[in-house]
Amino acid sequence: MKKSLQFLTVALSLATLVLSTGSAWAFTTAANTQIQNTATLSFTGGSASASVIVIVGLIPSQPTIDITNGTGNYTAANTPAILDTVTITSNANGPALYTVSSAVTAVLNTNETVGTAVAVVGTNPITIGATITNASSAWGTLSVPSDGTADAIVNNIHAGSTIVFTVGATTFTKNVVSVVDPGGTGTATVTFSVIAGEPATVPAGTPVYEQVPVNVSVLPGTVGISGNDIHVTVQATVATPGVTSVSVTNHAANVWTTPNISVHITKYVRNATTDASTFGAPTGTTFTVNGASHAYYVSTATSGVSAKPGEVLEYLVDAKNVTDTVIVPPSLVAVPVTINGAFISDVLPTTYVTFGFGQMAGKDVWVFPTDPASVGLQYNVGDLGAYSAPTLRVNVGDGASAALPGAIPPGKDVKIVYRAVVN
């Protein structure tokens, strides 16, 4: 008798060890299964019964996780975000709560200074389901224990869920079509999509794990030099109560492609007092400003415009976005590139000229927006920028304001016109 008790004690200790570590536990019964046991006393003339119900508890387990990443075209500071996908597959015997965290683990950007890149998790935490077949099931229909509630969901698996299970040596990933759970101590039915040629049955005791994607929004930081790409690696960590957290890192870094910005900028001038060129200047380029068309010239030391003290010079700066398109995966479609953060600065030779004399229609600067380019808008310098001798700065492009530079779409140009008097 003592030997029997000693054997029982050792057996219980081993069972406790297996349950506590979880490393050797093979799940055969799903969490929330109702185990009913009935004892009956039979006697002459009748019988009497008594029942107990045991609810099977959750055995937590580390999930399987994977992370995939995307690519994008850098357009501005921390823009655009790239959505990475953290795919979590349960390995527990029932529904459990999972918390996802993320961090940037590496930033690689050749010859570039990058701002802080941030990974932001979406829906969090999230419940992911799991169950175990309680009987051999015809392919396409899983027989699993009820979780005790009569509805169209069992252990968090429902229509639209993605489930993963293994038959033989093959792991299948399937979409759930419907769930019928009668509640009580009954059997629930999970119906999934099928393909011809797949196995005929799913054996009893087959774990069925839900698989859920969680989006992680990753920001690029800031690029300072056009043409340099940004590479950001992200690590995702998934935690569930009762087991050690598990982490995974991108197989490849997130990559933002920055285009080689290319613009054509030309500065013209004319003598607004005499409206004439000298030195045998070639025919100028005609622009219409303030309702009047005039020839403007690209001045050099041997051809261009002359002026006397007291005469007014009218400068025109024309800037056009001629940046090449970039190829965007996965469709490999060429996408035109908009120039952002655009402003024009012009340094005046203040020893020889004074800014702002001879205003046009009472304004300091005329700005021709990207669309339509033929209509000029009049501004004082504080409206779209500032003049702090000797530098004039004007914010240009779509959305430009006194505080913010604008955007120049592909193929579009902007112009500014201002005047200065010769000292």
pLDDT tens string for the chain (423 positions)? 333 333 333 333 333 333 333 333 456 899 888 887 888 898 898 888 887 778 888 899 999 999 988 777 777 777 888 888 999 999 999 999 999 998 887 665 554 555 556 777 888 899 999 999 999 999 999 999 999 999 999 999 999 999 999 999 999 999 999 999 998 778 999 999 999 989 999 999 999 999 999 988 888 877 666 666 778 888 889 999 999 999 988 888 888 877 777 888 888 888 888 876 554 445 678 888 877 888 888 876 555 688 899 999 989 899 888 876 655 555 455 556 778 788 999 999 999 999 987 677 778 888 888 765 556 777 888 888 888 999 999 989 888 888 888 888 888 888 889 999 999
The token pair that represents 345 in the structure block = 């600065």
CA distances for 352 relative to 311, 345, 355, 422, 423, angstroms: 12, 18, 10, 6, 5
For 390, phi and psi rounded to 5 degrees?
Answer: -100, 15
- pLDDT value of residue 239: 94
- pLDDT value of residue 1: 39
Q: Where are the domains of the chain?
A: 26-258, 263-422
